[in-house]
Amino acid sequence: MKRIEFLRNSFIATGAALAGSSLSAAAAPASGSAATGLAGKTFNLDYAPHQGMFANHAGKSFLDQIQYMYDQGFRSIEDNGYLGRPIEEQKKIGDLLAKLGMRMGVFVVDGGDNWKTSLTTGKKEFKDKFVETCKQSVEAAKRCNAKWMTVVPGFYERKLPYGNQMANVVDAMRAGAEIFEPHGLIMVLETLSDTPELFLQQTHETFNVCKAVNSPSCKILYDIYHMQKTEGNLIVNMDRCWDEIAYIQIGDNPGRKEPTTGEINYKNLFKHLYNKGYKGVMGMEHGNSKGGKEGELRVIQAYRESDDFLS
């Protein structure tokens, strides 16, 4: 699943769906609890599902889905398209998260320019739009007590030398950091593999941007799925850039499904992150390998298996 598909899916839920009672999932034991044997027990790391991942068990209401996630032991969520939701929906999500003691993971600072040539150009129109979206994100973050926001600088500007493009991106990120830093918010720059046109494709490039910006509000989003595709050597590259990594996302490769479905040794990776003292959110930005309720239970079981690294 590509990032643009996650964004599109995030807008499927309507106000009517969100208005559904979040109590229905809590009124009875969640389906599949006995099957996992550990329903309700928290994980060693803080994994964060997204909307639709457990819809067959919890129903269409995102609020009910969040309740189901909590009942299964998850303590955070991700919502890429959160910024585009009506304010009332944002408030309802924030209120439920606060009630349950859950954290909001990333949402995307989407100024409409993430998937085209934009900030690399240095053009004022793109930078102004980015700055304005950052300001909107501050207000949205307050409604759900969010801390991290995904930023993608866009595509290469093939008419400019690489160094000029890098300088333009750093300049834009400094402008964003100036907005976020007074509020204790962090924009996390995501290095992606979706297309060769994306400016940031390897961790060392994003590390370079963060060092140049030199702000606690400009850090790396390390997406394990993407980095397995573009550079591999996952543990070594994470360790090299560790002091700039503030957020991690999950997806096995090939297929971008839950852990245990591909070639990545997630149990070993999770143990490594745990031993490094990582306390942040681990975004489950992947699809389900199987459909229906069976597939949803398999996702939960896969995380139980991969999270069982202390024994």
More confident residue, 1 or 54: 54
Q: What is the pTM of this model?
A: 0.89
* Helix, strand, or coil (residue 182): helix
Residue 25 has pLDDT above 80, yes or no: no
Provide the pLDDT for residue 3. Answer: 52
Closest-CA residue to 7 (of 150, 94, 157, 108):
108
Query: What count of other Cβ atoms lies within 10 Å of the Cβ of residue 22?
Result: 23
pLDDT digits (tens, 9 = 90+) for 60-94: 999 999 999 999 999 999 999 999 999 999 999 99
Provide the pLDDT for residue 54. Answer: 98
**Angle of helix 292-307 relative to helix 266-275, nearest 10 degrees?**
50
Provide the pLDDT for residue 111. Answer: 80
Residue 79 CB burial class (10 angstroms; 0-12, 13-18, ≥19): buried
* Helix, strand, or coil (residue 284): coil
Residue 263 CB burial class (10 angstroms; 0-12, 13-18, ≥19): exposed
Alpha carbons 126 and 117: distance in angstroms, whole number: 9
Strands 281-283 and 245-249: parallel
CATH number of 3-307: 3.20.20.150
Alpha carbons 201 and 220: distance in angstroms, whole number: 12
pLDDT digits (tens, 9 = 90+) for 107-133: 999 987 888 999 999 999 999 999 999
Residue 191 CB burial class (10 angstroms; 0-12, 13-18, ≥19): buried
Question: Where residue 4 falls among pLDDT bands split at 50, 70, 90?
Answer: low
Residue 7 has pLDDT above 80, yes or no: no
Domain ranges (residues) in the chain: 3-307
Strands 218-223 and 281-283: unpaired
